Chain A
Amino acid sequence: MPTEKKRYGMVIDTRKCVGCMSCTISCKMENGVPFDGFRAWVDMKERGVFPRVKRNFIPKLCNHCENAPCVTVCPVKASYINDDGVVLVDQKRCIGCGYCIVACPYSARYLHEGLKVADKCTFCVHRVSMGLEPACVHNCMGKARIFGDFNDPLSEISQYITKNGVQTLRPDLGTNPNVFYVDAEINKLPNKGGK
């Protein structure tokens, strides 16, 4: 039986991602994300040596960490975790010091050029509160993104996570992300020119 308290999270099955960027675009449209910031995006990497090469698509977003560094470092408590485990920014309280943006090891925050405050993925709380899925999940044509409540063992996300091996980004940092990846070749090498 689901507990009263929710713990929202996301599983991203990279086997199903084709790198179409519809998540990036739909997020920007849904949330009015400015041109030079990203709440959701897809990293693309080519791995291997010819003829055994493979292109990986790794969709990324705020990891909504249980031990969120952005919340820890915020000097005015503008970053917080709500009752459903979603990391949010109180935009009226934020002073725009940028410390949370620098402190996020996933580069998931940016400074909103119009509002002059930190901005990030909210798991589309405004949609979720109406019973809808986040925009990136709704618009994913490969159904690579699964959103739901980890505290509900009958939810699609809980069942998906029991059937598939998952991993998180940078588990060494102890942030306990609520975004999990299936079959992602991550945590292996640095981005640029690593061998």
Chain B
Amino acid sequence: MNTQDVYVVVNASPWNYLVPLYIFFKGLSVGALCISVLYTVFRSERFKSLAFPAALTSLLAFIPVPILLLADLHQPLRFWHLLVNFNPTSVISWGTWLIILYPLCLLWYIARLGLSQGISIPVLKGVQESASTSQSTSGLGLRGLSILTLSLALLADLYTAFLLGVVKGKVLWNSALLPGYFLTSAIVTGAALVLIVYLNKKPEEKTVRTLVRIIQGALALEIFFAISQWITLGATSLQGQKALELLWKDPMYLIGDIFLGILVPLVLLNKPSLNKKPVLMISALLVILGGLLLRFSIVGVGIQAAALWN
């Protein structure tokens, strides 16, 4: 039987470009931190010189997050309502506290890491002094603080996937794959940003190679998540098939994320070397662009696909 719309009303979604941008920058911050903790948690000496710049990159990448979050509220002056009206069934309520606690912990972590590496940060002088005192009183060493910061970072990143995932009737978002997909994308974009920062310092060949291996591995994992999503969407329901059609028709997804953001960097990053610095830089930029377009695509198409069933 044919069905033809004559007149269908769909109230417009109030979410615009600010939401995917917010998710993207938060991912960048979390991803960069994941590189930093390779030294402080996993004790990889290869990343010793990278730990501090990566942590600082993480903090700088986080700066747009609260700005975007406030700008997205249509009543930004009522932001404090979030702090006094906690709704335990709302993912945003939990996310609000994670978004507050994570950067505070990150600041503390950077101050402690700077202390341990003999780096004085004039802007964070007070925090560094407090961190020095608290270490002797609380006994929370750099590793413990790193684990705490990493845990908050992972939760702060994952909550956005659950924020989308729990929305009823949005077949593209209602997937157990989404948290893993978003986290992998966060790690790969964060690592790419750290690579760009590191290449502009005094990079060591071994560290660059390992960082590129991490990016390659995460990109491969992203391909796994993408294909898993295609199979499950395409095979399970008509709603899923329609959503997949829309996703594939979205140039930001297939051309932007999959081709430019994953496949091209995978080829370019083959046999990485410091002699190929411009190639490494371009690859890292493409990876970051891909992560940005993925967020735009998943948020936009998720809303668009669900509107078909209203």
Contacts and interface: CB of A to CB of B under 8 A. Distances in A.
Contacts of B75: 94-96, 116-117
Interface of B (DSSP majority class): loop
A5 to B, nearest CB: 23
B73 interface: yes
A37 B120 CA distance: 55
B169 interface: yes
B171 to A, nearest CB: 11
Interface string B252-291: 0000000000000000000000000000000000000000
Nearest to B94: A75
B236 interface: no
Contacts of B74: 95-98, 111, 116-117
A107 B82 contact: no
B9 A77 contact: no
B14 A45 contact: no
B199 interface: no
B90 A45 contact: no
B250 interface: no
Given A49-B2, A117-B75, A190-B309, A73 B7 contact: no
A36 B12 contact: yes
Interface of A (DSSP majority class): loop
A103 B303 CA distance: 10
Tell me which of A37, A55, A74, A107 has the highest count of chain B C-beta atoms within 10 A of its own C-beta. A107
A73 B91 contact: yes
Contacts of A74: 87, 90
A162 interface: no
A84 interface: no
A52 B4 CA distance: 14
A72 B169 contact: no
Given A75-B87, A111-B14, A190-B308, A44 B92 contact: no
A48 B306 CA distance: 23
Interface string B85-125: 10101111100100000000000000000000000000000
Contact of A101 (B1, B7, B11, B310): B11
A130 interface: no
A61 to B, nearest CB: 11
Nearest to B96: A75
A95 B79 contact: yes
B87 A77 contact: yes
Nearest to A96: B74
A119 to B, nearest CB: 10
B15 A47 contact: no
A101 B13 contact: yes
Nearest to B87: A77
Tell me which of B9, B73, B238 has the highest count of chain A C-beta atoms within 10 A of its own C-beta. B9
B168 interface: yes
Contacts of A48: 1-2
B309 A170 contact: yes
A41 B9 contact: yes
A109 B4 CA distance: 24
A93 B81 contact: yes
22 contacts: A36-B12, A43-B9, A44-B6, A45-B8, A47-B3, A49-B1, A55-B6, A73-B89, A75-B82, A75-B90, A78-B81, A98-B14, A98-B74, A105-B168, A110-B12, A117-B75, A170-B309, A190-B308, A190-B309, A193-B3, A195-B1, A195-B3
Interface of A: 36-38, 41-49, 55, 60, 69, 72-78, 93-99, 101-103, 105-111, 116-117, 170, 173-175, 188-195
Given A73-B89, A93-B85, A189-B1, 14 more contacts: A38-B9, A44-B6, A46-B2, A49-B1, A73-B91, A77-B85, A77-B87, A96-B73, A98-B74, A99-B90, A99-B92, A103-B168, A191-B308, A193-B3
